[in-house]
Amino acid sequence: MQEKICDVVGQFGKEVCDDLRVIKAPVSCLLELCDKLLLVLDIKDRSWKSFRSVSKNFPAFKNLMLSIQNDQLSENVINEVLPLWKSQNLMRLKLSKISTGACLLLDWISLIVEYNLKCEIILTSKKRIPELEKMIKIQSKILSDLTSECLSIEELVNKTKTNIEDGEFDCDECSELSMTSKPYAFVSSEQEERHVFHSTVHRGTASGGIMQSSFKMSKERAELQTLFPNFNSENLYGEVPVNRNVELEEPIIYEGKTEMIGCCRMKFFCF
């Protein structure tokens, strides 16, 4: 940008400036250009007459232009010159019909304004650098926390998946175990039912007689029979023996177990 400005100033020679100064009745666009030029050069009188007076001493006028291009224009000056910068293409078209020097001055003013605008943007950006760096640190911290949280969530998800897979494996084992243990449970239940049935019959009565199932009870019964008379004997009261059908005790086989069940016959006696 600085090179372009210096190039334009180099093209604006004394001959070009003299051609511009000789104009006695400038048009409106030339007056507007002169007004903005003297504003940038910080000259209070911005009339056409003032321009001719300042540009008469060409070396001083050119040095003033070179010194201004290195300074930062105020915000008020930029705002006032900005409309000319926006319409520079149309303005150049009009000035090209009047003087080459006027077009060079328009280019110089446009470059000066553009340079100052860019410098202002750079300065504003530099002022925001600390704030932006702070924001970057905050965002980096947030990003780091989110990354850690994502890793924790991912670890928790993987752990949950592992627990679910282990749970399914345990359920499969339980199912297999229940299937293999079911017949055993059925047999055990069936044996318990048989045991209950046996116990019920064992403790019941049949035809008025007491069922005996243990060896101890049979032994006690035999001892008692030696102490009491045999009521089954036909000769108990001197009676004549009578041939009668004698009921024999026969073993009854039930579920693989042998039980001796005896039944005593009822006798009628006269005393």
Residue 219 to residues 149, 164, 223, 226, Cα–Cα distance (Å): 85, 66, 6, 11
> What pLDDT was estimated at residue 178?
55
Beta strands in the chain (DSSP E): 205-206, 209-210, 252-254, 257-259
pLDDT one-digit tens code per residue, 54-73: 988 999 998 888 888 777 88
Tokens of 1: 């940008």
Domain ranges of the chain: 2-127
> What pLDDT was estimated at residue 68?
82
- Cβ(51)–Cβ(63) under 8 Å? no
Tokens of 241: 């023996």
Q: What is the dihedral of CA 91, 96, 100, 106, to 10 degrees?
A: 10
pLDDT averaged over every residue in the chain: 74
Mean pLDDT of 167-180: 59
Tokens 């470059």 found at: 111
Choose between 136 and 265: higher pLDDT: 136
Q: Which of 53-62, 105-114, 243-252 is predicted with the least confidence, judged by mean pLDDT? A: 243-252
CB-CB neighbours of 32 under 10 Å: 18
> What pLDDT was estimated at residue 90?
92
CB-CB neighbours of 87 under 10 Å: 13
pLDDT one-digit tens code per residue, 191-212: 444 444 444 444 444 444 444 4
> What pLDDT was estimated at residue 150?
94
Query: Which residues, 6 or more positions from 106, have their beta carbon under 8 angstroms from its beta carbon?
Result: 33, 84, 88, 91, 92, 95
- Cβ(26)–Cβ(102) under 8 Å? no
Distance of alpha carbon 108 from alpha carbon 81, whole angstroms: 12
- Please state the length of the chain: 271
Q: Which value, in Å, is the radius of gyration of the alpha carbons in the chain?
A: 66
- Beta strands 257-259 and 252-254, pairing class: antiparallel
> What pLDDT was estimated at residue 39?
92
Taking 90 as the threshold, does the pLDDT of residue 38 lie above it? yes
- Where helices occur in 204-260 by DSSP H, the ranges are 215-227
Tokens of 33: 């250009």
The three-point CA angle 97-34-89 to 5° equals 50
Tokens 């947030």 found at: 142
Distance of alpha carbon 189 from alpha carbon 191, whole angstroms: 5
pLDDT one-digit tens code per residue, 85-107: 999 999 999 998 888 899 999 99
At 153, the pLDDT band (50, 70, 90 cuts) reads very high
Tokens of 138: 């905050």
How many Å separate Cα 170 from the centre of its chain? 30
At 121, the pLDDT band (50, 70, 90 cuts) reads confident
At 271, the pLDDT band (50, 70, 90 cuts) reads very low
At 251, the pLDDT band (50, 70, 90 cuts) reads low
- Cβ(52)–Cβ(21) under 8 Å? yes
How many Å separate Cα 199 from the centre of its chain? 68
* Residue 90 parent element (H or E): helix 88-95
Choose between 34 and 212: higher pLDDT: 34
